[in-house]
């Protein structure tokens, strides 16, 4: 399978295995941003259509990526913004509960913490069984077992941001439907690199930051809102989301109706003339790669690495219980994290530490040599007693 490193500006001396932190910009995305800034020099370069055309194209591209109608896709500046729209419209009663996976990213925790405090809800954070031989399976089972008739909402990611644990969204959807609860998914660490089909999973909401696996710029992401939110109240009221907003002359004729679909939840100034062209270019490229290809390519890259590391005593989840694009390497309790961190830094191998997990997240710009370099460093550290 083919590496696409030539499409990026990554220095040859750097081994970048950290897409879960931030994706490097594609050359084409960088060029789109530069051209957008140049165009912004002159206000006369923009027509009324420019406030709408590229954002509509983005909705179509993201809809294609997740197999959802573009009318249900909106631009958001962040995951926290997208989740705030959800939290504002959830109907929960005192004494009910919200289910979360433990230690998930804060933007998918704080909205539910506030909602629980304001409405007298129980916030349940579900951890894996620390004694289980199969940690990932136990985590999924515990999540399913925690859902009961008092559950009003389950908020999880598709893959856990720290170690890549795959959560069984279809099983969670079936269980939440049985008890009448919502399923809200943070797709930041999966969508773009791991297939996600809205028609199969049927989440009530899906929110994604754009600067990781969607390969876009920072401060612009995407959300999908299902039928539950069709008559909801957005966190802000802005002109561009109302009926007939494309008629600039008639904007003083205030409209009580929103545009159709989920558009009411889209962030104000969503036309963002600098970032929108970059995200559009990125989404088109991701759709050209396809998540299926990215999973296959990264799976091929990591296969021998994972086998070698397991032989050296490292703990890594089995295939099918984590993504190929993101996995955690768990260390022994006596690991000298600081020494290992220095070694990786000195060798210019860029990864992330998340809790007790060394997080590895390759993408299409990586090569077999990158993974071999990581393997050599970790296996040598194990031999020398650093681990």
Q: Is 70 exceeded by the pLDDT of residue 332? A: no
> Coil, strand, or helix at residue 3?
coil
Alpha carbon 271 to its chain centroid, in Å, reads 22
Q: Is 70 exceeded by the pLDDT of residue 385? A: no
Q: Is 70 exceeded by the pLDDT of residue 222? A: yes
Same domain flag for 231 and 133 = yes
pLDDT interval class at 321 (50, 70, 90): very high
Same domain flag for 169 and 271 = yes
pLDDT interval class at 386 (50, 70, 90): low
Q: Is residue 208 part of a domain?
A: yes
Last residue of a domain, one of 238, 264, 288: 288
Cα distances from 207 to residues 72, 78, 178, in angstroms, run 12, 8, 23
For residues 295 and 325, the answer to whether their CB atoms sit within 8 Å is yes
240 contact partners, CB below 8 Å, separation of at least 6: 51, 266, 268, 269, 270, 271
Please tell me what DSSP assigns to residue 267.
Answer: P
Q: How many Cα neighbours within 13 Å face the side chain of 39?
A: 16
How many whole angstroms separate alpha carbon 184 and alpha carbon 84?
12
Pairing of strands 327-330, 357-360: antiparallel
Q: What is the pLDDT of residue 185?
A: 98
pTM, two decimal places: 0.96
Q: Is 80 exceeded by the pLDDT of residue 84? A: yes
Same domain flag for 82 and 156 = yes
How many whole angstroms separate alpha carbon 139 and alpha carbon 128?
4
Q: In what order do the strands lie in the sheet with 357-360?
A: 327-330, 357-360, 352-354
Q: Is residue 26 part of a domain?
A: no
Question: What CATH number has the domain bearing residue 178?
Answer: 3.40.640.10
Task: Report pLDDT digits (tens) over 132-153.
Answer: 889 899 999 999 999 999 999 9
Q: What is the pLDDT of residue 313?
A: 86
Q: What is the pLDDT of residue 1?
A: 81
pLDDT interval class at 339 (50, 70, 90): confident
How many whole angstroms separate alpha carbon 179 and alpha carbon 159?
24
Average pLDDT, the chain: 95
Matching residue, tokens 């129980």: 122
pLDDT interval class at 333 (50, 70, 90): low
Cα distances from 328 to residues 134, 142, 189, 259, in angstroms, run 14, 20, 13, 43
For residues 1 and 289, the answer to whether their CB atoms sit within 8 Å is no
Q: What is the pLDDT of residue 355?
A: 76
Percent of the chain with pLDDT over 70: 98
Last residue of a domain, one of 288, 320, 351: 288
pLDDT interval class at 118 (50, 70, 90): very high
**Domain hosting residue 89, numbered range:** 32-288
Same domain flag for 202 and 321 = no
Domain count, the chain: 2
Q: Is 60 exceeded by the pLDDT of residue 58? A: yes
pLDDT interval class at 357 (50, 70, 90): confident
Q: Is 90 exceeded by the pLDDT of residue 312? A: no
Nearest alpha carbon to residue 185 among 294, 263, 108, 267: 108
Sequential DSSP letters for 306-334: HHHHHHTT-B-PPTTSB-SS-EEEEPPTT
């Amino acid at each position: 399978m083919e590496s696409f490193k030539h499409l990026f500006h990554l220095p040859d001396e750097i081994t970048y295995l950290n897409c879960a932190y931030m994706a490097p910009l594609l050359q084409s995305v960088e060029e789109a941003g530069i051209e957008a800034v140049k165009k912004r020099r002159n206000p006369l370069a923009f027509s009324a259509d420019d406030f709408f055309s590229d954002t509509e194209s983005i909705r179509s591209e993201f809809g294609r990526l997740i197999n959802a109608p573009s009318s249900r896709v909106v631009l958001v500046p962040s995951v926290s913004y997208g989740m705030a729209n959800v939290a504002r419209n959830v109907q929960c009663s005192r004494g009910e509960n919200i289910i979360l996976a433990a230690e998930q990213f804060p933007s998918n925790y704080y909205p539910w913490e506030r909602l629980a405090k304001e409405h007298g809800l129980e916030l349940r954070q579900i951890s894996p069984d620390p004694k289980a031989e199969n940690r990932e399976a136990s985590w999924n089972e515990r999540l399913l077992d925690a859902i009961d008739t008092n559950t009003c909402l389950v908020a999880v990611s598709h893959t856990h941001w720290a170690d890549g644990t795959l959560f069984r969204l279809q099983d969670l959807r079936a269980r939440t439907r049985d008890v009448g609860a919502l399923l809200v998914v943070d797709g930041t660490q999966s969508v773009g690199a791991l297939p996600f089909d809205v028609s199969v999973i049927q989440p009530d909401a899906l929110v994604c930051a754009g600067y990781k696996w969607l390969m876009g710029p920072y401060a612009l992401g995407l959300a999908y809102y299902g039928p539950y939110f069709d008559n909801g109240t957005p966190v802000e009221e802005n002109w561009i989301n109302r009926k007939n907003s494309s008629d600039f002359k008639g904007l003083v004729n205030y409209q009580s109706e929103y545009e159709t679909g989920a558009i009411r939840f889209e962030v104000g100034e969503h036309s963002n003339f600098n970032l929108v062209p970059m995200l559009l270019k990125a989404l088109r490229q991701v759709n050209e790669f396809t998540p299926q290809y990215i999973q296959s390519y990264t799976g091929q890259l990591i296969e021998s690495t994972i086998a070698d590391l397991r032989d050296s005593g490292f703990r890594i989840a089995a295939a099918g219980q984590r993504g190929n694009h993101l996995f955690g390497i768990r260390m022994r309790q006596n690991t000298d994290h600081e020494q290992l961190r220095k070694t990786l830094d000195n060798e210019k191998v860029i990864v992330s530490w998340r809790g007790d997990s060394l997080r590895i997240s390759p993408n299409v710009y990586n090569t077999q040599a990158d993974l071999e370099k990581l393997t050599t460093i970790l296996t040598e550290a194990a031999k020398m007693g650093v681990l």
